Amino acid sequence: MTQLNAKLIVSDFDGTLITSDQRILPEVREAITQYIADGGIFAVCTGRILASILPRVRELGLKGLVIACQGSVIADIETGEYIKRGGLSPVQTSEICAAIESAGQSVNAYSDDHFYTDIPKDNKYLKMYEEITGVTSQNVGERLSDYIARNGIKCQKVASLCMPRARKRLYKFLKERFDGKYDVTCSANVLVEVSPLNDTKGAAVRFLAQRYGINMSETVAMGDNLNDLSMIEAAGIGVAVGNAVRELKKKADYVAVTNDQGAVAQVIKLFGYRHD
């Protein structure tokens, strides 16, 4: 009889579960399907908004809950119904947008299924981002901080899409500016994201474990970037994929192969089952 070691495995999506060219490897799909058939719970925890991640987890055949927006949103995969819906007030959202604007960088704000931006529609990086996420942006035609404040828009997170060198400077600036007030993290080498202080991926994984009646010692979480740090520290076993940033690898209990080599399948086989 197959015996599970980890009852809950939570994986980041981009850079972890899918390949660099946005594919789900057959061995990854098979490992997830078998793990669920054997009684395990597999969940995705991503920085993507709900509208972006729902089609992909449904494509995987997952049921139950999905975590989106860095932990601000938890929803039912089949119905799309919100189980948890945190966020930033219009005042907070505008404040964060203004800080990014003062640093001379572009701003994106995410409210439920809406993606507001000040980036021109013909920007090649924005087009690439829209293609990857499957979500179309709305250019507001003015300072995003003013637009958010005037329209009273509550958002789940604010992000800046910028070049790697600028991203490092902006990350440092926002960490210092909002230390202890908001959660500032990076989800890619060109993305800095700001979200509510307590709406982290780690908090969301704890929420899932409690909801399913699973002890945190029986959980595994895996990811590739700084926004995954809170959940790999919260889980019983924290895994960094082989392509993860150095800071995450240092904190992880285990470093797996890369996303392009089927890291999720490897982790399920290693930690999902008992090997005694």
**Strands lying side by side in the sheet with 191-196:** 138-139, 114-117, 108-111, 157-161, 191-196, 182-188
Rounded Cα distance between 148 and 111, Å, is 10
At residue 206, the pLDDT reads: 98
Residue 3 binned pLDDT confidence (cut-offs 50, 70, 90): confident
Of 233, 258, 234, residue with least CA distance to 245: 258
Of 34, 38, 37, 32, residue with least CA distance to 9: 32
Residue 123, exposed/middle/buried by CB under 10 A (0-12, 13-18, 19+)? middle
- What mean pLDDT do residues 111-136 have? 86
The pLDDT > 90 percentage for the chain reads 81
Give the global pTM. 0.93
Residue matched to tokens 């990076």? 186
Residue 122 binned pLDDT confidence (cut-offs 50, 70, 90): confident
Rounded Cα distance between 50 and 118, Å, is 21
Does the domain at 8-85+199-271 match CATH 3.40.50.1000? Answer given as: yes
- What mean pLDDT do residues 106-126 have? 88
At residue 109, the pLDDT reads: 96
Inform me whether the pLDDT recorded for 2 exceeds 80.
no
- What mean pLDDT do residues 104-109 have? 94
Inform me whether the pLDDT recorded for 1 exceeds 70.
no
Q: What is the mean pLDDT of the chain?
A: 94
Least confident of 42-51, 128-137, 144-153, 170-179: 128-137
Residue 112 binned pLDDT confidence (cut-offs 50, 70, 90): confident
At residue 43, the pLDDT reads: 98
* pLDDT tens column, 165-186: 888 899 999 999 999 999 999 8
At residue 209, the pLDDT reads: 98
* pLDDT tens column, 29-38: 999 999 999 9
At residue 130, the pLDDT reads: 86
At residue 27, the pLDDT reads: 98
| Residue 209, both tokens | 């474990």
- What mean pLDDT do residues 206-224 have? 98
Domain spans, the chain? 8-85+199-271, 90-196
Rounded Cα distance between 183 and 147, Å, is 23
Helix, strand, coil percentages, rounded to 5, for the chain: 40, 25, 35
Residue 125 binned pLDDT confidence (cut-offs 50, 70, 90): confident
**90-196 fold:** 3.30.1240
